[in-house]
Amino acid sequence: MPRMFDPVVITPAEAQRRHLKRSDYVPCVDAFIDCRLPGSMPKENYSMIGPGVTQNASQAINLQEPHGFNIGAAGMYPGVTNNLHLHFTSETFIVPTGAYTLRWGVRGDEGELPIEAGDIAVMPTWLFRGFSTQSDQFGLLMTVLGGDDTGGIIWSPDVLLRARETGLWLSKDNEVIDATLTGAQPTEAELLPLMPEAEIATLRRWSVEQMRARVIKKSSLDFREATLDTAAGHHWKIAPAVGNGLSQHRDHSPSVLEPQSFSVEWIQIEPGQGSASFTTAEKMVVINLSPALEVTLNTGAAELRCTLGFEDMISIPAHVYRAFRCPEGSPMSEAVMVIAGDHVKRPAFGADVPNKAKANGVTLDAGGKLARASVLPPLMFDTVIPKEITA
């Protein structure tokens, strides 16, 4: 049984600060060393939660606070390519709109795959990867990066050499040096060295089939009413994608389970429906991928409501009550929940939810999964009902 905590009440000002609107995202057009390469401009980089892997100290960050992960985006114009680089922590792509081609290998010739709206692609660490847009309109390719400190990135040597021809060099501090402004070429002692070929040769190679297993198609997701409140009259669906998330359905398994430092789950809510209010012991970021998602924070007299527009997100601190709802008359709400940690998360509902679920014959087993109360030993049944939490 998870330890229970007193709920945290969030203030209106703090709730507003944590509601990041699409119109609030600030692009940086020279965040990376490849920003002047032919076919790679105009390029936009966004850092919404944490700094991500930007190499420009002037990058705007919407919410600097550590979450256990970073969330950013690449702003992609038609025909633009993001060049080959590798990460030390997880990079998971979330595709709100458009279509892209992923390629990998130090020269980009080890394989490629298409990804499109609704896909989630989990990239291995220590793998050179790049991507190009196949869309005829601008779009954001969102990324979730593992950890608070991602360690930066390593560029393919070919990218760094071509960038130098445009006047851009990469310092030992992993920041861009613009020789066209300084008027002098930096010395080798000032520069981050190219990755040696001997080190490149040690990198694991990934086949197209292995990578295809890491591209999670929305059509393959297993959406179910998967939390205790759905046995108490609330209706919303969860589909696990990456890591251990909130789902309490014992038949749910994420498509990619290996540790990333976060979990990713899709949610779907029909008009007029929604979840009960619950807390989590971890920080959560919800990215809305539909016309509208209504989020209620706190309970009782302190209750606050906000509506997320398309590509808006909200960061919810640990132990704050939250509930999700699809507004009446709106299309179905769809969103992605990103929650810190590789462990199984345990949503904690107020006492009314387990009591109503129990009256309907449903409870949680000792593993925190939904079960028919009638098949559980009485002593076990009594110990899995969460104690009452009041705001």
Place 382 in a pLDDT band, splitting at 50, 70 and 90. Answer: low
Average the pLDDT over 271-294 and give the result.
98
Average the pLDDT over 132-159 and give the result.
96
Task: Give the pair of three-digit tokens for residue 383.
Answer: 């110990």
User: In this predicted model, what pLDDT tens digit does every residue of 216-267 receive, in sequence order?
Assistant: 999 999 999 999 999 999 999 999 999 999 999 999 999 999 999 999 999 9
Average the pLDDT over 117-137 and give the result.
97
Whether 31-215 and 221-383 share one fold: the answer is yes
**In 170-306, where does DSSP find H-type helix?**
179-182, 197-200, 208-212
Place 174 in a pLDDT band, splitting at 50, 70 and 90. Answer: confident
Q: What angle do CA 338, 340, 344 make, to 5 degrees?
A: 95
Q: Examine the pLDDT at 331 and tell me if it is beyond 90.
A: yes
Place 311 in a pLDDT band, splitting at 50, 70 and 90. Answer: very high
The pLDDT, as a whole number, for residue 353 is 97
- For domain 221-383, the CATH class is mainly beta
The pLDDT, as a whole number, for residue 107 is 96
Q: What angle do CA 182, 184, 186 make, to 5 degrees?
A: 100
Domain boundaries, the chain: 31-215, 221-383
The pLDDT, as a whole number, for residue 281 is 97
The pLDDT, as a whole number, for residue 4 is 57
CA distance 276 to 229: 6
Strand, helix or coil at 46? strand
Task: Give the pair of three-digit tokens for residue 276.
Answer: 């009960």
Strand, helix or coil at 232? coil
The pLDDT, as a whole number, for residue 55 is 86
Q: Examine the pLDDT at 391 and tell me if it is beyond 50.
A: no
> Residues of the chain with pLDDT > 70: what percent?
95
Average the pLDDT over 312-318 and give the result.
98
User: In this predicted model, what pLDDT tens digit does every residue of 13-48 receive, in sequence order?
Assistant: 999 999 999 999 999 998 888 989 999 988 899 999
Average the pLDDT over 169-179 and give the result.
88
Closest CA to 194 of 124, 109, 128, 123: 128
> Which of 49-63, 116-130, 203-217, 339-353 comes out lowest in average pLDDT?
49-63
Residue-averaged pLDDT of the chain: 94
Task: Give the pair of three-digit tokens for residue 85.
Answer: 């680089």
Q: Examine the pLDDT at 3 and tell me if it is beyond 80.
A: no
Closest CA to 160 of 183, 182, 145, 176: 176
The pLDDT, as a whole number, for residue 380 is 55
256: β partners:
242
Concatenated DSSP letters of 325-346? EPPTTSPPEEEEEEEESSSPP-
Fold classification of 31-215 is Jelly Rolls (2.60.120)
Average the pLDDT over 130-136 and give the result.
96
The pLDDT, as a whole number, for residue 6 is 84
Average the pLDDT over 124-144 and give the result.
97
pTM: 0.93
Q: Examine the pLDDT at 378 and tell me if it is beyond 80.
A: no
Place 315 in a pLDDT band, splitting at 50, 70 and 90. Answer: very high
CA distance 317 to 366: 26
Distance of CA 152 to the CA centre of its chain: 18
The pLDDT, as a whole number, for residue 387 is 47
Average the pLDDT over 53-75 and give the result.
94
Average the pLDDT over 40-62 and give the result.
92
The pLDDT, as a whole number, for residue 105 is 98
Place 165 in a pLDDT band, splitting at 50, 70 and 90. Answer: very high
Place 383 in a pLDDT band, splitting at 50, 70 and 90. Answer: very low
